[in-house]
Amino acid sequence: MHSTLLALLLQATLPPFPAVAVDAFPPAARREISTVQREASARPDDVEAVGRYAKTLHAWDLWQPAHDVYTRLQHLDPKSFEWQYLDGVALQRLARHADAANAFREALARSPEYLPARVKHAEALFDAGRIDESEALFAALVKEPAAEPAAEAGLGRVAAARGRHELAVKHLERAVALFPELGAAHYTLARSYRALGRTDDARRALALHEQYGPRWPAIEDDVLARVAPLRDDPRARIRSGVKLAEEGDLAGAIAAHEAALAQDPSLADAHGNLISLYGRTDNWAKAEKHYRAALASGVNLSDVHYDHGVLLAMQEQWDAAADAYRRALEANPLHAHARNNLGQVLERQTKFADAADEYRRALEAQPGFRLARFNLGRMLIGLGKPTEAVAELEKIREPRDAEAPRYLFALSVAHVRAGNRAEGIKWAEDAKQLAIGFGQRELAAAIDRDLASLK
């Protein structure tokens, strides 16, 4: 009797089972959603069936119905982290930021260390206007390497909202140094640059925002990762392929992109991605085929030409690669990676002054592009301008990541060439210890030999 009464009380408080009209959906969506909806409606109190229904709606970007089903799941399974967290994600997409912040807070009460939820909680609080609370959370997240770009971007947004644009620029430049494709940070940077009267910088930042759009630094999210596979249309296959490529599974990434094209041959971004994917597997013929297809689409030509340039450079076809980079720059003069790569080709052709000019122009387009600044520093050393090289290389002393040892070694060389022997030794020692720490034995040995010649 007691268990029966509890069941009746539960039924009385449960939100109604939300059914979705699927008739107007595309065939793939209609097929997948109607199947899981039928199963869930037959077992409306079964957490597994209703959960699959909610996540399928989520996978198809049906945020309001997904939220409705997540609400029912929170009554069916009140101790679950998963339903609170995924509901927060759906509420964010519905622009219900205060509700999303509450959902993430409840989720974190169940799993306090889950990093994606911590980041999203801070973002939702900011978007809800609770800036002081969000600032505290972003400040804590800066200490988490995987979350640092998003946290620095968040602190930049906080500073900009308070009118402290110099501080905003400091945080946002750090964010795009860590993750150059962070489009939202470039947009906020453009606004802060404009407020400071830095109109040229604002123009470049806005162009980078337009180039990178909504790209965002990925944080491994096991809970959200279980949602995407429930959608099986061409766009979902491309997203899966991109993720597989990021994880190093090139064969899987290629298969996912080819499967997307089998469903829809007109997908320009699938052709574009396959240029580099086939290039990374040395399948030049297939890469060239997809370059031609991407070119014919007329979409995102700057990246298409850039990827083709990388493909040609991998085959050591330097003149053809330089032409491809120039075509990328004709389509988008602010394509910093095309500028940098063109500089590297010019360097190979011993056109050192021209190479330095391209590296400078890459930095004008993207000031936080560390590799371009390193390349410029090297060229300035080679051109007999070590003092200028020091000034450039000083700007990439941080962060102390796996790239830093060679940057610090170059700074050491620049100091020695400029007559600052003691400074050169100091930075060489620093570079050596950092290289050892990252397991870069050959670089550490090269630095050690250089140090021996200086002492």
For residues 401 and 380, give the distance between their C-alpha atoms in angstroms, rounded to a whole number: 24
11 in any annotated domain: no
Both 286 and 401 in a single domain? no
Is the pLDDT at 28 greater than 90? The verdict is no
Do 293 and 326 fall within a single domain?
Answer: no
State residue 400's pLDDT score: 82
Q: What percent of the chain has pLDDT over 70?
A: 97
- 311 and 288: one domain? no
- Please state, as a whole number, how many other Cβ atoms lie within 10 Å of the Cβ of residue 349: 13
**36-66 pLDDT per residue, tens:** 999 999 999 999 999 999 999 999 999 999 9
Q: Which two tokens stand for residue 351?
A: 């056109």
Domain membership of residue 278 (yes or no) is yes
222 within some domain? no
329-351 pLDDT tens trace:
999 999 999 999 999 999 999 99
Model pLDDT, residue 398:
82
Residues ≥6 apart with Cβ < 8 Å to 80: 47, 73, 74, 110
pLDDT reading at 121 higher than 80: yes
- Dist. CA 160–CA 172, nearest whole Å: 10
Both 57 and 197 in a single domain?
A: yes
* 2-9 mean pLDDT: 51
Q: What is the pLDDT of residues 176-233, one digit of tens each?
A: 888 888 999 999 999 999 999 999 889 888 888 887 788 788 899 999 989 988 888 8
Instruction: Please check whether residue 450 is in contact with residue 434, taking contact to mean a CB–CB distance below 8 angstroms.
Output: no
For 222-271, write each residue's pLDDT tens digit.
999 899 888 888 888 998 898 888 778 899 999 999 999 998 999 999 99
CATH assignment at residue 419? 1.25.40
Last residue of a domain, which of 338, 367, 396?
367
Helix axes 250-263, 268-280, angle to 10 degrees: 150
Percentage, residues of the chain above pLDDT 90: 77
In a shared domain, residues 283 and 307 = no
pLDDT tens per residue across span 372-387 = 999 999 999 999 999 9
pLDDT in tens, 305-328: 999 999 999 999 999 999 999 999
* pLDDT for the residue numbered 399: 78
Section 102-125 average pLDDT: 97
| Token pair of 85 as six digits | 């967290």
List strand residue ranges (DSSP E) for 236-367, in order. Answer: none
* DSSP letter for each residue of 376-425: HHHHHHHTT-HHHHHHHHGGG--S-STTHHHHHHHHHHHHHHTT-HHHHH
Question: Containing domain of residue 130, as a range?
Answer: 25-206
Residue 250 lies in a domain: yes
Poorest-confidence range of 90-99, 259-268, 397-406? Answer: 397-406
pLDDT for residue 6: 47
Same domain, 106 and 192: yes
What is the residue-averaged pLDDT of the chain? Answer: 92
- pLDDT digit string, tens, across residues 152-174: 999 999 999 999 999 999 999 99
Q: Based on the structure, what is the number of domains in the chain?
A: 4
In this structure, what CATH number is given to the domain that contains residue 286?
Answer: 1.25.40.10
The answer to whether residues 434 and 394 belong to one domain is: yes
Which one of 298, 319, 340 terminates a domain?
A: 298
User: Quick one: average pLDDT of 358-380?
Assistant: 94
Token pair belonging to 66: 């997904």
**CA 160, CA 191: separation in Å to the nearest integer?**
8
376 in a domain, yes or no? Answer: no
CA distance linking residue 208 with residue 22, whole number of Å: 39
**Which H or E run includes 152?**
helix 148-161
184 in the same domain as 64? yes
Residue 215 lies in a domain: no
Confidence band for 1, pLDDT divided at 50, 70 and 90 = very low
Banded pLDDT at 5 (limits 50, 70, 90):
low
Same domain as 318, residue 287: no
Per-residue confidence (pLDDT) for residue 248, from 0 to 100:
83
Q: Hey, what are 412's tokens?
A: 């050491």
> Residue 326 falls within a domain, yes or no?
yes
Q: What is the pLDDT of residue 261?
A: 95
Checking if the pLDDT of 2 tops 60, the result is no
Torsion of CA 60, 65, 66, 72, to 10 degrees: -160
The arithmetic mean of pLDDT across residues 127-149, rounded, is 96
The predicted-structure confidence for 407-442, as pLDDT tens digits, reads as follows: 999 999 999 999 999 999 999 999 999 999 989 999
In a domain, 399, yes or no: yes
Is the domain of 199 the same as that of 257? no
Whether residues 150 and 81 share a domain: the answer is yes
Q: Are residues 44 and 84 in the same domain?
A: yes
Among 310, 338, 367, the domain boundary falls at 367
Note the pLDDT of residue 39. 95
